[in-house]
A and B are shown apart, each in its own frame.
Chain A
């Protein structure tokens, strides 16, 4: 579905992505792992058209995404739940969700979909008229996820959903993702620092290190690989 080949990105003089290649097949959860500064978020930002690549190809369903503006990428069917949640704090939960459907125009259908998100995340329903800034971190993450789903994306990209959440909450978010993948066949590109948790739900994973793909393979294999266990999972 999504195919990235030899992607190079520079931030000024810093070579942030050095020939990244990866693939996201339809219906799978693909995870992008790595420490701070490995280039995970940069990859997402490049896909979204926020950062321009200096070289390389990004293809989505056979069309090139390079050079498109963010809103055009969204129109193609890609949604991003950005790092740090970034909900609209002064707007209500319902307004946040409605904004997720910004690129769509069928009003009745959107209202139905909001209800569907509420059935997926009952906690949000309880808070529908509250401004998003008053929600807890976990609730905000659910809202960010629900908001991203509102555009009915073919590909859902999530940047560090467990950031700043208690382990039990982040596990809850990840199992929601697995549920979405299994019940709806949602294709997901998941970025995580918590490698163990991500590998437990992903089908395939890429491990980035300072701008290059260090390792890749089926999630189960990576999870049992000795080198990975030592460096990324902290198991000796």
Chain B
């Protein structure tokens, strides 16, 4: 018991310090860094939710971009002011229902999440009966359908023109706050008996079924929780970048999320967060290599997309040398951290004692 309460105190203290840091960062950091940190949190939510569906339940879904798009458009339409909507929809007028609809940020995010989960339920109903590759193909197709709908539903989404002037309610407290909620819910879920059943489904569907596990129910549960948070993250994203159009939510987003999750480790929530932050920060840090630079007498012109080339090389290296991702399927824990330092103290000769976090 004593150990558990110590860990609780550490977690609580950490959260407190973290929130104070967030508030400080929100008021003193420059907008560029704030934006990167916000993106870190949003990508973390994407990765954590993908991990829930793939890492824990074994269902390879590529629908994340579509669900994020649904969340983003719902939140955009509900937070845009009537005047901004009038400015946006100059080709065709907006549907009258939406014209004067404006809600505070929190309820719009909840509606974004619920909207994504509702659409998720509709697609999952047939799709989750498919296995493996077929589910991936079905969800990928679904994502594309959503994108085409966004382009063509001119009076709702403003088509390819996208929506501009979204208020930008998202700040560090919103994004990281939702990440913390998402982590908490996901962690509680995977540690519950439902979570154990999900892992059983991942390891062996036939055996799980033979034990009385209702496969469909558990896949559905993981999928819907995932969809909800992806929708919320989409809403946060819309209110962060303040301009969205269908191109933001192409396949590429889904692949990025898969890449991040694999890099962090399947079945490790902390791994997903770490990988998402590293990914977002690296991608920004690597921006200079896309501009023109000179090595000796050689001048290399700026090539847009260079950093993605570098990123794929890094991803390849991770997969080659850390087969299971940065964290494998273990989590960062206080016990692991304390053990790590204790071992260090005991071995002052400097022999590495790595791999103790479990």
Tell me whether A and B are bound partners: yes
CA distance A79 to B209 in the complex (A): 11
CA distance A30 to B206 in the complex (A): 24
Q: How many residues of B contact A (CB 8 A)?
A: 19
Q: Contact: A102 with B206, CB < 8 Å?
A: no
Q: Contact: B212 with A151, CB < 8 Å?
A: yes
Q: Contact: A89 with B203, CB < 8 Å?
A: yes
Contacting residue for B213 out of A79, A80, A95, A102, CB 8 A: A102
Does B197 touch A at the CB level, under 8 Å? Answer: yes
Does B36 touch A at the CB level, under 8 Å? Answer: no
Q: Contact: A74 with B204, CB < 8 Å?
A: no
In the complex, which residue of chain B has the Cβ closest to the Cβ of A75?
A: B212
In the complex, which residue of chain B has the Cβ closest to the Cβ of A133?
A: B203
Q: Contact: B329 with A90, CB < 8 Å?
A: yes
Q: Contact: B213 with A86, CB < 8 Å?
A: no
Residues in B201-232 with C-beta less than 8 Å from chain A: 202-204, 206-214
- A-contact 0/1 string along B88-132, CB 8 Å cutoff: 000000000000000000000000000000000000000000000
Q: Note all chain B residues with C-beta closer than 8 A to A220.
A: none
In the complex, which residue of chain B has the Cβ closest to the Cβ of A74?
A: B212
Q: Contact: B211 with A147, CB < 8 Å?
A: yes
Q: Contact: B199 with A82, CB < 8 Å?
A: no
Q: Note all chain A residues with C-beta closer than 8 A to B193.
A: 98, 102
Q: Note all chain B residues with C-beta closer than 8 A to A148.
A: 211
Contacting residue for B207 out of A75, A86, A95, A98, CB 8 A: A86
Residues in A89-110 with C-beta less than 8 Å from chain B: 89-91, 95, 98-100, 102-103
Does B187 touch A at the CB level, under 8 Å? Answer: no
Q: Contact: B212 with A82, CB < 8 Å?
A: no
Q: Note all chain A residues with C-beta closer than 8 A to B204.
A: 86-89
Q: Note all chain B residues with C-beta closer than 8 A to A70.
A: 209-210, 212
Does B155 touch A at the CB level, under 8 Å? Answer: no
Does A61 touch B at the CB level, under 8 Å? Answer: no
Q: In angstroms, how far is the closest chain B Cβ from the Cβ of A103?
A: 4
Q: Contact: B200 with A71, CB < 8 Å?
A: no
Contacting residue for B214 out of A71, A87, A88, A95, CB 8 A: A71
Contacting residue for B203 out of A48, A90, A98, CB 8 A: A90
Q: Note all chain B residues with C-beta closer than 8 A to A151.
A: 211-212
Is the interface on chain A under 10, 10 to 19, 20 to 34, or 35 or more residues? 20 to 34
Q: Note all chain A residues with C-beta closer than 8 A to B212.
A: 70-71, 74-75, 102-103, 151
CA distance A151 to B212 in the complex (A): 9
Q: Contact: A98 with B210, CB < 8 Å?
A: no
Does B35 touch A at the CB level, under 8 Å? Answer: no
Q: Given A82-B207, A88-B204, decide whether A98 and B213 contact each other with a Cβ distance below 8 A.
A: no
Residues in A31-88 with C-beta less than 8 Å from chain B: 48, 50, 69-71, 74-75, 79-80, 82, 86-88
CA distance A148 to B206 in the complex (A): 13
Q: Note all chain A residues with C-beta closer than 8 A to B199.
A: 88, 90-91, 95
CA distance A167 to B203 in the complex (A): 28
Does B196 touch A at the CB level, under 8 Å? Answer: yes
Q: Note all chain B residues with C-beta closer than 8 A to A98.
A: 193, 196
CA distance A98 to B197 in the complex (A): 10
Q: Note all chain A residues with C-beta closer than 8 A to B206.
A: 50, 82, 86
CA distance A82 to B203 in the complex (A): 14
CA distance A82 to B210 in the complex (A): 8
Q: Contact: A91 with B196, CB < 8 Å?
A: yes
CA distance A151 to B211 in the complex (A): 8
Q: Note all chain B residues with C-beta closer than 8 A to A89.
A: 203-204
CA distance A19 to B228 in the complex (A): 49
Q: Note all chain B residues with C-beta closer than 8 A to A79.
A: 210-211
CA distance A89 to B202 in the complex (A): 10
Q: In angstroms, how far is the closest chain B Cβ from the Cβ of A136?
A: 18
Q: Contact: B210 with A91, CB < 8 Å?
A: no
CA distance A79 to B203 in the complex (A): 19
Q: In angstroms, how far is the closest chain B Cβ from the Cβ of A152?
A: 12
Q: Contact: B210 with A99, CB < 8 Å?
A: no
Q: Contact: B209 with A99, CB < 8 Å?
A: no
Q: Given A71-B214, A88-B203, A91-B203, decide whether A99 and B208 contact each other with a Cβ distance below 8 A.
A: yes
Q: Note all chain A residues with C-beta closer than 8 A to B214.
A: 69, 71
Q: Contact: B197 with A102, CB < 8 Å?
A: yes
Q: Note all chain A residues with C-beta closer than 8 A to B210.
A: 48, 70, 74, 79-80, 82, 86
- A-contact 0/1 string along B8-22, CB 8 Å cutoff: 000000000000000
Q: In angstroms, how far is the closest chain A Cβ from the Cβ of B189?
A: 16
Q: Note all chain A residues with C-beta closer than 8 A to B196.
A: 91, 95, 98-99
CA distance A100 to B211 in the complex (A): 6
Q: In angstroms, how far is the closest chain B Cβ from the Cβ of A191?
A: 14
Q: Contact: B207 with A87, CB < 8 Å?
A: yes
CA distance A135 to B164 in the complex (A): 58
CA distance A82 to B197 in the complex (A): 17
Contacting residue for A99 out of B197, B202, B267, B329, CB 8 A: B197
Q: Note all chain B residues with C-beta closer than 8 A to A95.
A: 196, 199
- Identify the 4 closest CB pairs spanning chains A and B, nearest first: A74-B212, A86-B207, A88-B203, A103-B212
| Chain A residues engaging chain B, CB cutoff 8 angstroms | 48, 50, 69-71, 74-75, 79-80, 82, 86-91, 95, 98-100, 102-103, 147-148, 151
- What would 10 A/B residue contacts be, using CB atoms closer than 8 Å? A48-B209, A79-B210, A79-B211, A82-B206, A86-B206, A86-B207, A90-B199, A90-B203, A91-B196, A103-B212
| Chain B residues engaging chain A, CB cutoff 8 angstroms | 193, 196-197, 199-200, 202-204, 206-214, 267, 329
